[in-house]
Amino acid sequence: MDEAACNTCPMGSNCPMVCCPVCGYTTIDTDKTTVGRIALNLVPSQNPKRDQATLSTLAEVPKGVSVRVVAVENTDGSRPLQMQAYGLAPGRLVHILQQEPVTVVRADHTELALEGDLASKVLVEVVTS
Amino acid sequence: MSSECPPVAEADGGSVALVGHHNVGKSLIFQRLTGSRVTVANYPGTTVEVARSSGPSALGPALIDTPGIITFPTRTEDERATSRALLEEPLRAIIQVGDAKNLRRTLLLTLQLIEMERPLLLALNMTDEADSRGVRVEHQRLQKQLGIPVVPTVAVRGEGLDQLGDVLLNSAPATPKLHYPKPVEDTVQGLIPLLPACSLSARGLALFWLSGDPEAESWLNQNASAHNWEQMIASRERLEATLGRSVDAVIQDTRLAYVEHLSATVLHDAGTQQEGFAAWFGRISVHPIWGFPVLAGVLLAVYLFVGHFGAGTLVDLLEGTLFGEIINPLVIQVVENLSPIPLLTEFLVGEYGLWTMGITYALALILPIVATFFLAFGVLEDTGYLPRLSVVTNRLFSHMGLNGKAVLPMVLGLGCVTMATMTTRVLENRRERTLATFLLALSIPCSAQLGIVMGMLAAVSLGATMIWGAVVFGVMLMVGWLAAQLLPGSRSPLMMELPPLRRPVAKNLIVKTLARLEWYLKEVIPLFLLGTAILFLLAATDILPGLISAGTPLVTGWLGLPPEASEAFIMGFLRRDFGATGMFVLGSEGLLSPLQITVAMVTITLFIPCVATVFMISKERGRRMAAGMVALVFPLAFLVGGLLYRLLFTLGWGI
């Protein structure tokens, strides 16, 4: 975090907000505020509508369909690296086995169960077999 | 020359590390090569420590078995132990155990291990499963392309294992053939002179660090000079600025492309899927609807085996007949004759005697229950059912800030909470480990206690059992939800491999159960004996009656139980089943009404865990956390018990 942004802010640097010094976007640091964290969890978030082009995510494909992975969204940490290591890598063929209670797919001969949150990070295109 | 790692002593010493993914048969191969007892498991995280062969193995040098990993960089506490082993062990060679039917996944790891430039052997295991799915790997060709020996094996049948020793020890260090984009290679060259010495080659270590491994990061931070470390960080920042992406992603992309190139030449996959009963059962066990009846059926089977056969039949045999009628009278007589001091006699075979209470309960009551539990759990592991259990229970756990992976410690807790606390290591972040440990301490009854609790409740009515179940479960959910809101950090969503369902091999199952029993006897029983000794001391010094009367206002006034119940609670801290048994004795003397029994059982279940578990929590999570949990659980248990008492009393139930 850029300390310069906090220095000029009247709130000082101990408030639980995280502010981008470039564009000014603010959000809360959930590690610093209990109330904020609870509120964030309780209030449902609005998911932005995505352009319904030819690409969908792994979470949206109905069961029984085969897809080819296009890309894995770059989220934080080593999660995308692990997903790719399991076989959800660009160019690979993946078969959807079920979407409830979690997403279960097959890549090569590995069956992988993953929650919708993670599955929605994998961009795929449907393969018409 | 100064830029190279000093070579590991060729003649003696050093160790061979077994590395590989979860569920590939690594631990089984370890066991076959060393002959020692080791747990062989299908569910990630059961090899919680790095298991080591004592002395030389069939291969020559000592063999170490590492926890399964998905790839480097590693994530969980468990997986990081593998990174640590590679960094700190005097590595003579590495054996990677890979799944023959998932060649691409296997090769991704192989490439990473080759870069470390130690002699490497790839054991392609489970070739029988590959064959039945129409997967064929040209291992000779692969061997030539990789430059390392590739040996097909079927570990469950012991095929191919005898070759491993000769092949490995005659092989030269692996030479990497993969080159990364120029900016990466240039940076790596620049890093080499800055790196401290270790078994891995300097280039391998540099790439290991650049691919984002957290263990490599902390190891280098500690072992490199401060000046070098600063330069390394600056180097990495410059590289990422040049690439415009994080370097770990670029490295993995390069490796993935090379894996595709390799697979195209040596892998022939007919794409046949598994058929038959195992495949069908695998599908319905995670079905959104049928998964639940399957779960209920499995739980019922386990309950019948452990609860009725183990806690009933076996315990009656051992406690009643063997110890009660044969062994104990003999021991008591011998000690009474030989012991010079009455106090010593009392200490050994008296009411709180080391033998009559401690050892008898340990061997006659706890051992058969825990043994049947470990056997049942071993079946669940070896068939591969546990990951599917995670899928079905995932939504439930998500309400408590956890995910389906928590099912492993929770279910193990029904056997022994002390052991389950250790297993929380498989959970991904500290928040989850803390949550799971807390819920284990609060609401999971261990098998020793469970048998007695269920027995007592069943003697009252089905209604009593249901009230108990609902209250304990409800408390777990509510407290779990609340704790999840209050603890910082976020929940990690479930991602887990579902290995194919397999028939368990009897020999492995028995070996594994015996190994667990050995662990149990060595680690937990001494703590139980300690508890008995403390109890003896309290009674002999007359402190015990004092403690009992001190607890009376709480136990009688708030919970509505007779004053004698106070003793059961104190004993319940030393040994959880003592608490339940104490109540059982009161109940069988006709001193407790159905209402009192139910309230007592609920409170006993929620009450603080036994001393062995508290020690384990201090070890795993720290003393402050252990103290904090005890401080929270104690009043919570009594609060719920008291409220339940008042509620049922008002409703006029069971008075």
* Token code pair at residue B432: 């989850």
- Of the residues A105, A106, A115, A129, the best mutation for testing chain B's interface (the one with the most B CB atoms within 10 Å of its CB) is A115
Report the gap between the CA of A77 and the closest CA in chain B (Å).
9
pLDDT tens, residue by residue, B485-524: 888 888 889 999 999 998 888 887 888 788 778 777 776 6
User: Which residue, among B477, B491, B481, B497, has the nearest Cα to B433 in the 3D structure?
Assistant: B491
- If you classify domain A56-126 with CATH, what class do you get? mainly beta
The C-alpha atoms of residue B570 and residue B634 are separated, in whole angstroms, by 12
Q: What is the pLDDT of residues B437-489, one digit of tens each?
A: 999 999 998 877 887 787 788 777 888 888 999 999 999 999 999 988 888 88
Q: Which residues contact B217 (CB under 8 A, 6 or more apart)?
A: B209
| pLDDT score for B120 | 93
Beta-bridge partners for B123: B97, B151
Q: What is the per-residue pLDDT for B11?
A: 44
Bond before B181 cis per omega within 30 degrees: no
Q: How far apart are CA B391 and CA B496, in angstroms?
A: 9
Give yes or no for residue B47 having a pLDDT over 60.
no
- B83 Cα to chain A: minimum distance (Å): 15
Contact B495 A112 (CB under 8 A): yes
**B475 in Cβ contact with B640 (< 8 Å):** yes
Q: Which chain A residues are Cβ-neighbours of B109 within 8 angstroms?
A: 85
Pairing of strands B495-498, A110-114: antiparallel
Q: What confidence category does residue B169 fall into, taking pLDDT thresholds of 50, 70 and 90? A: confident
Q: Are A117 and B488 in contact (CB < 8 Å)? A: no
Distance from CA of A22 to the nearest CA of B (A): 18
Decide: B207 and B251 in contact? Cβ < 8 Å.
Answer: yes
- Side-chain-side CA neighbours of B610 within 13 Å: the count stands at 31
Q: What is the pLDDT of residues A69-118, one digit of tens each?
A: 999 987 777 889 999 999 999 999 999 999 988 999 999 899 999 998 89
Mean pLDDT calculated for residue range B263-289: 87
Largest CA distance in chain A: 61
B184-196 pLDDT, tens digit per residue, is: 999 999 999 999 9
Tell me the average pLDDT across B329-334.
82
Cα B244 to Cα A73, A96, B11, B95: the distances in Å are 16, 33, 46, 36
- CA B443, CA B601: separation in Å to the nearest integer? 12
What's the Cα-to-Cα distance from B20 to each of B66, B67, B191, B199, B402, rounded to whole Å?
A: 8, 8, 28, 18, 27
- The residue to which tokens 């290995």 are assigned: B499
What single-letter DSSP state applies at residue B196?
P
Share of chain B above pLDDT 90, in %: 32
Beta bridge partners of A72: A122
pLDDT at B46 over 60: no
Which pLDDT does position B57 carry in this prediction?
63
Dihedral-angle region of residue B518 (phi above 0 means left; psi in -120 to 50 means alpha; beta otherwise): alpha
pLDDT average, residue stretch B56-81: 82
* Whole-number pLDDT of residue B554: 82
Domains of chain B: 1-272 (3.40.50.300), 274-655 (no CATH)
Query: B6 pLDDT band (50/70/90 cuts)?
Result: very low
Omega before residue A101 within 30° of 0, cis = yes
Of the candidate ranges B48-62, B399-413, B491-505, the one whose mean pLDDT is the lowest:
B48-62
- The gap from C-alpha B125 to its chain's centroid, in whole angstroms, comes to 24
pLDDT of residue B514: 85
Rounded average pLDDT over B258-272: 90
**Which positions 592-611 of B are in contact with A (Cβ < 8 Å)?**
none
Asked if B271 and B134 count as a contact pair (C-beta separation under 8 A), the reply is: yes
> Taking a contact as any Cβ pair under 8 Å apart, which residues of chain B between 206 and 225 contact chain A?
212
Long-range contact set of residues B137-144: C-beta below 8 Å, sequence gap at least 24 = B137/B100, B137/B103, B137/B266, B137/B267, B137/B268, B138/B265, B138/B266, B138/B267, B138/B268, B139/B266, B141/B265, B141/B266, B142/B262, B142/B266
What pLDDT band is residue B415 in, cutting at 50, 70 and 90? confident
pLDDT band of B42, cuts 50, 70, 90: very low
Q: Mind giving me the DSSP string for B483-521?
A: HHHHSSS-PPPPEEEEPPP-PPPHHHHHHHHHHHHHHHH
% of chain B at pLDDT higher than 70: 93
Chain B residues with CB under 8 Å of A87 CB are 102, 104-105
pLDDT at A45: 60
Q: Where are the domains of chain A?
A: 3-42, 56-126
Identify the top-confidence range among B336-350, B499-513, B523-537.
Answer: B499-513
Count of CB contacts below 8 A, A vs B? 115
- Quick check: B346 and B540 in contact, CB under 8 A? yes
Q: Give the mean pLDDT of B239-252.
A: 91
**Residue B283 to chain A, least CA–CA distance (Å):** 9
The answer to whether the predicted template modeling score (pTM) of the entire model surpasses 0.95 is no
Which residue has better confidence, B575 or B110? B110
Query: Residue B61 in contact with residue B16, Cβ under 8 Å?
Result: yes
Sorting pLDDT into bands at 50, 70 and 90, what band is B10?
Answer: very low
**Helix, strand, coil: what percent of chain A each, to 5?**
20, 30, 50
Distance CA B221, CA B239 (A): 19
Beta pairing, strands B15-20 & B91-99: parallel
**Edge-first strand listing for the sheet containing A103-107:** A56-57, A122-126, A66-72, A93-98, A103-107, A110-114, B495-498
Residue B332 burial (10 A CB sphere; 0-12, 13-18, 19+): middle
The pLDDT of B313-337, averaged and rounded, is 80
CA quadruple B352, B358, B360, B366: dihedral positive or negative?
positive
Task: Give residue-wise pLDDT tens across range A2-29.
Answer: 455 676 777 766 777 877 777 777 777 7
Give the pLDDT score at B56: 58
Interface of A with B (CB under 8 A): 30-31, 34, 37-38, 41, 74, 77-87, 89-92, 97-98, 100-102, 104, 108-115, 117-118
Return the SS3 of B607. coil
Cα separation of B12 and B63, whole Å? 13
Cβ separation B485–A38 shorter than 8 A: yes
- Residue B58, pLDDT score: 65
What's the gap between Cα B264 and its chain centre? 38
Per the prediction, chain B carries an average pLDDT of 84
Confidence of residue B550 (pLDDT cuts 50, 70, 90): confident
* From A79, A100, A109, residue closest to B101, measured CB to CB: A109
| B488 vs B644 pLDDT, higher one | B644
Rounded to the nearest 10 degrees, how much is the dihedral formed by the CA atoms of B511, B516, B517, B521? 140
